[in-house]
Structure 1
Amino acid sequence: MKPLDPRLLGYARAARAFLMAGALIGLAQTACIVLFAWFLSQVIVRAIDGQSLSELMPMIAALAGVVVARAALLWIAEVTSTRGAARVKSQLRSRVLAAITQLGPGWMAERNATSVATVTGPGLDALDTYFSRYLPQLILTAIATPIVVLVIFLEDWPSALGVVLTLPIIPVFMILIGWATQTVQKKQWRLLNTLSTSFLDVVGGLATLTLFGRAARQAERIRSVTEQYRVQTMKVLRVSFLSGFVLELVSSLAVAVVAVSVGLRLIDGSLGLSVGLFVLLLAPEAFLPLRQVGTQFHAAADGVAAADDVFEILDAASAEQAETMVESAPDRPSAGTLVLTGFGAAYGERPVIGPIDAEFSTGSFTAITGPSGVGKSTLVAALLGFVGHTGVVTLGGRTIEAGVTGRDWISWCGQRPGLLAGSVFENVALGSRAPDRALAARALGVAAADEIELDRMLGVAGAGLSGGQAQRVSIARAVYRALERHSAVLVLDEPSSALDELSESRLIDGLRRLSESRTLTLIVVTHREAVARAADSILSLEPAAMAA
């Protein structure tokens, strides 16, 4: 990431307001710096000239006012940066979630879900330092350094020349140290992702690992990765401390050059004490913001690395025209026959299914069958707009366009329940604009899960329900969405894989009654013969049909 990546301004509008506020605060701080040096030098010189305390009081009062104003500006800058960071993180997280939704499961399948979660979680949290420390110093450097150098030039051009000649040394060292920091920081970030992924994998498969006696080995692996992360973190700290020392040394030597020049001219009488003292007080302020930028860059390195990954996700979504995504288009298609013409789908450059032609009539129950890997779930993902497809999809004679039409016309339940901690009612009505208990109870009835109480509390990932119960609750969630949003199509992917014959029969009856009473097009991906027999029609996908 650049010192200030332009993409940040495009993806987070709050960043623009933050930069404008930072510029105004930086300008006021610069004025305080110059006034402080001026008033202090005047108080000292006039005191040496023998002025009394009463004569100096107005100047001292002005100096105290500048000190108070500078302290207030520091507080305002801190508050602004903290609030700005919170707003920017919120906007970036919202954009990332929208981007992941737009890119869909096909994109996520090619990436590590834990890594994405780490980036959007603790990764974006690291932007706090970037906004509260690094960017304010960067803004202050862009404003204060040129103004301070100009003021010095107007008072004493030889001193300004010394500052201008020594000032570039600091950016040179910053660039050299920055390259080294970037290398070790990226390696540390990769190790953090590896550690997060390893830990999640072990927790998820702990029962299996214990059963086969491999838990201790995985614990040792996590211990090893943790040690690598600790070592790499210490390397980053070592580079940070070393860079801070180098920047302090270089800036001190640069100020010393100006001080020696001023001192020699004060001795020979070619420079007045008032000007010399004013210049000596201002010279360190010309170097301080630039030096602080280098120091704070290391503190913000985690956020910078995470922001790079965030921008990669958002850039990928932009390529898929994420800005055109509409959650609920006002002119969405109503109920009607769903027709696929020349329909094909692919993951990247790898074709998975098609081209095929199919028709799903209103109120019909169609089963999609075929061997594993033939592309049944891919067809569903393509209908949802999660996977790119070729051909034309129409509903009731109107063309369905991914990312434009919206998704209210279709409701879906995948193979995994995807339940959350909370009540059954909260899970069934997830995403509802106005949760309705009566509608949720009806959805549970359709899903053959009416024996499950709406107020029953579930743990993480739906803990507290059996596999079959969790599956039926997730089906009820899809049914609830279809009823609430008047969806024209309901798609279920292997809805009875965890059910016994009786529950499966009840589920089929409930779904058939729903499709007939609501003129709902029901599409079920299944390997179960009972479901296929109950369907009005069967769309059988065969490996031979998988043409490029």
Structure 2
Amino acid sequence: MKPFDPRLLRYARASRSVFILGGVLGLVRTLAILAWSWCLAQAITAVALPWLGNEGGAAGRIGEGAFAPEDLPLLIGGGLVALCVRSAAAWGMDAVAARGAVRVKAQLRAAALDAVDARSPEHSSERSDSAHATTLGRGLDALDGYFSGYVPQLVLTVVATPILIIAVLFADPVSGITVLVVFPIIPVFMILIGMATQAVQDRQWAQLQRLSSSFLDAVAGLATLKIFGREQRQSARIAAETEEYRSRTMKVLRVTFLSGFVLDLAGTFSIALVAVTVGTRLVNGEFPLGLGLFVLLLLPEVFIPIRQVGAAFHASTEGLAASGEVFELIEGPRGGDAAAERTGGAAAGGEVRGGTAGAIRLTDVRIARGGRAVVGPLSLDVAPGEVVAIAGPSGAGKSTVFAALLGFVEPAAGVIERPAQLAWVGQRAGLLQGTVAANVTLGAETVDTGRVRRALDAAGLPALAPEHELGAVGAGVSGGQAQRIAIARALYRAWTLGPETALLLDEPTSALDRGTEALVCRALRDEADTGRAVVVVSHRQAVLDAADRVVHVRPAEPESLSLAEEEATR
């Protein structure tokens, strides 16, 4: 967890204006502080010196450089102007930070969603939907505290603190050297407390992710839980997760309050140390009263930014933790980079070609994951009008071949030729909240209600109304119905895109009974009879029997990329 991550400037351009404008306003505020402190110190001196008279209080250098009482209106006017400028600059910094936070959050969300959209579904499935929602929702919203509280103080620490220390050093070298000696104590305390804060904050953030996942799982399976009477158990589990999150939140708050107390204590002791030296010299008449008051007025301003930046940092750690995950999401592998990561950097050895007039052809294709051989060499031809099934034991690489055909995994070697357009069904239905029709036509520019009805009938859902509403992640239908809605979606897409669109299905009947499975097999055969290439990954015997050819895949040998292909002509 970094107090400032340079990636923020890279992925959220709006943050640049926040820091630039904040720096300019911070400089104006600092100059106003200097002017206000000087005018106030000289005004107090002009009023106090006549009262001190010559009774010893005004002896020595006490009256050196003092203004006459006649200059008091000018000093008060200058101080009021400086105070107004300081207040306006502070308001401007807060306004710039608040508005910048809105733009920064929008830009980070857009960049993260673009990254997820460009990523292979295989890589995207590594994080749950609830984790994405928590990070991009609640997590990024916590950046409001970072920008409204932490960033202005960080800017002041960088801009104002050096200028004010130099001003004190020039006004009184002894006080300036004392400040330089005691000032590093506060950053040391900040680092030590920050290390403790990071540990408790990371645990709190992880607990929030678990709580979000538990709640989403409970909502998604609420109907099933009610059927089996297990809703109370899930309610107790969520209550326990909530209590754990509450406990961890209180630990974060305790550390935050402790850090604020320690930083205030260190700053107070530092100011007191300098004030004692200034006061002693004033009493002895070794220091001008106006200059001494100027130094004493500046001392709190020197320590305030560094003290407040520590407190504000601990108050915005949740947003920092979430932004770190957003940066990892944005910088994660996408497209060819993702394939290169999964194939151990060998993705460039293979080639994927499009536009084969509906046919699918694999020539000496080898696939690796993490540098380990998974599939290959494999040569396969699927002509338009054929149904080809890929079978084999679990872990043999069936889904890997399917992912390579879809472009989610690039081959380490060999050539894959496929149509430019594909319609596919994955192992997960991937349904969204909305109507059945909206799920079937997902991604389509126009909606053909007659085609939707035809697709549902072909998938074995003649009784399911297209206007039926689904809940979150497709709640409201059984697992078998969800699988058939996904098949209807693929059929709708294939019919919309045209006859050269190949149809790919991964375990499409794993949750279906035999009768419904026969209907789906009939639909696949009908699609092939129209001149469409159909590839189906399955371990169900009925699907294998319905295919024209079956390709049996075995796991690759540890030291070589090998795949035994056995074809049975039906």
| TM-score bracket relative to the smaller structure | 0.7 to 0.9
- Give the match for residue 360 of structure 1: 382
Q: Distance between the aligned counterparts of 2:293 and 2:339, measured in 1?
A: 57
2:412 aligned counterpart, secondary structure = strand
- 1:404 is aligned to none
Higher alpha-carbon deviation: 24-33 or 293-302: 24-33
Correspondences of 1:230-245 after superposition (within 5 Å): 230-245=246-261
1:376 maps to amino acid? K
* Structure-to-structure mapping, 1:217-366, within 5 angstroms: 219-317=235-333, 321=337, 333-336=354-357, 337-348=359-370, 351-362=373-384, 364-366=386-388
Correspondence 1:129-208 to 2 at 5 A: 129-204=145-220
Q: Is the 8 A contact 1:346 1:387 kept in 2?
A: no
1:216 and 1:456 mapped to 2: Cα distance? 28
| Contact 2:455 2:489 (8 Å CA) reproduced | no
Instruction: Name the TM-score, length of structure 1 as normaliser.
Output: 0.82
Rounded Cα–Cα distance in structure 1 between residues aligned with 2:335 and 2:284 = 68
1:97-154 residue CA offsets vs partner (Å, 9 max, x unmatched): 4444555444455556644543333233322222222222112201110011112223
Aligned equivalent of 1:421 = 433
**1:534, 1:278 → 2: CA distance?**
92
- Provide Cα deviations, 1:407-452, integer angstroms capped at 9, x if missing partner: x7433222332222223343233334xx3122x6425524526775
Q: What amino acid is the match of 2:266? A: V
| Counterpart residue number, 1:412 | 424
CA distance in 1, matches of 2:242, 2:326: 24
Q: How many Å apart are 1:247 and its aligned residue? A: 0.8
The CA distance in 2 between the partners of 1:539 and 1:20, in whole Å, is 62
Change (3 A) 1:323 1:538: closer
Deviations 1:516-535 (A, max 9, x none): 66x65332223455544554
Residue equivalent to 2:508? 495
Cα distance in structure 2, aligned partners of 1:441 and 1:332 = 34
| 1:461 aligned onto 2:473 | yes
2:447 to 413, 431, 437: 437
Structure 2 residue identity aligned to 1:421: Q
Specify the SS of the correspondent of 2:260: helix
Work out whether 1:30 is the aligned partner of 2:51.
no
Gaps of 5+ in 2: 51-66, 341-351, 562-570
Residue aligning to 2:88:
72
Shift of 1:292: 0.9
Report how far residue 254 of structure 1 moved: 1.0
Which residue type is aligned with residue 190 of structure 1?
A
CA distance in 1, matches of 2:104, 2:353: 32
Against the structure 1 CA distance between its residues 119 and 30, is the aligned structure 2 distance closer, same or farther, given a 3 Å change threshold? same
Q: Structure 1 residues 539, 97: closer, same or farther in 2, change over 3 A? A: farther
Query: 1: distance between equivalents of 2:229 and 2:517?
Result: 37
What do you get for the CA RMSD once the two structures are aligned?
3.8
Which residue of the partner structure matches residue 401 of structure 1?
none
SS in 2 for 1:437: coil
CA distance, structure 2, for counterparts of residue 117 and residue 74 of structure 1: 34
Contact 2:150 2:312 in 1 (8 A): yes
Q: In structure 1, what is the Cα distance between the partners aligned to 2:128 and 2:437?
A: 31
1:293 CA displacement? 1.3
Paired amino acid for 2:535:
I
Counterpart Cα distance in 2 of 1:323 and 1:380: 14
Specify the alignment match of 2:535 in structure 1.
523
1:164-194 Cα shifts (integer Å, max 9, x gaps):
1111111111112112222222222233333
* 1:17, distance to aligned residue in structure 2 (A): 3.3
What letter matches 1:495 in structure 2? Answer: P
Cα deviation digits, residues 215-264 of structure 1 (max 9, x gap):
55555554444433333322222221111111111111111122222222
Q: Which TM-score applies when normalising by structure 2?
A: 0.79
* 1:540 alignment counterpart: 552
Against the structure 1 CA distance between its residues 478 and 63, is the aligned structure 2 distance closer, same or farther, given a 3 Å change threshold?
farther
Q: Which residue of 2 aligns with 1:402?
A: none
- Structure 1: 5+ residue stretches without partners: 325-330, 399-407
SS at 1:242's partner residue? helix
Secondary structure of 2:400's counterpart equals: helix
* Structure 1 contact 446–514 (Cα < 8 Å) conserved: no
- 1:321 alignment partner, SS class: helix
For the 8 Å contact 2:423–2:503, the answer to whether it is kept is yes
Alignment match, 1:470: 482
Q: CA, structure 1 residues 194+10, in 2 after alignment: closer, same or farther (shift >3 Å)?
A: same
Contact 1:339/1:359 (<8 A) preserved: yes
Which deviates further from its counterpart, 448-457 or 192-201?
448-457
- Secondary structure of the equivalent of 1:317? coil
Q: CA deviation at 1:93?
A: 3.2
Q: 1:81 is matched with which residue?
A: 97
- More displaced, 449-458 or 48-57? 48-57
Distance 1:543-1:287 versus aligned 2 partners, 3 A rule? closer
The superposition leaves residues 477-528 of structure 1 with CA deviations (integer Å, 9 ceiling, x where unpaired) of 33444566668433222334455677666655655565666x6533222345
**Counterpart position of 1:403:** none
- Following the alignment from structure 1 to structure 2, what is the Cα–Cα distance between the partners of residues 524 and 102? 25
Task: Count the aligned residue pairs.
Answer: 528
* Letter in structure 2 aligned against 1:14: A
Change (3 A) 1:78 1:384: farther
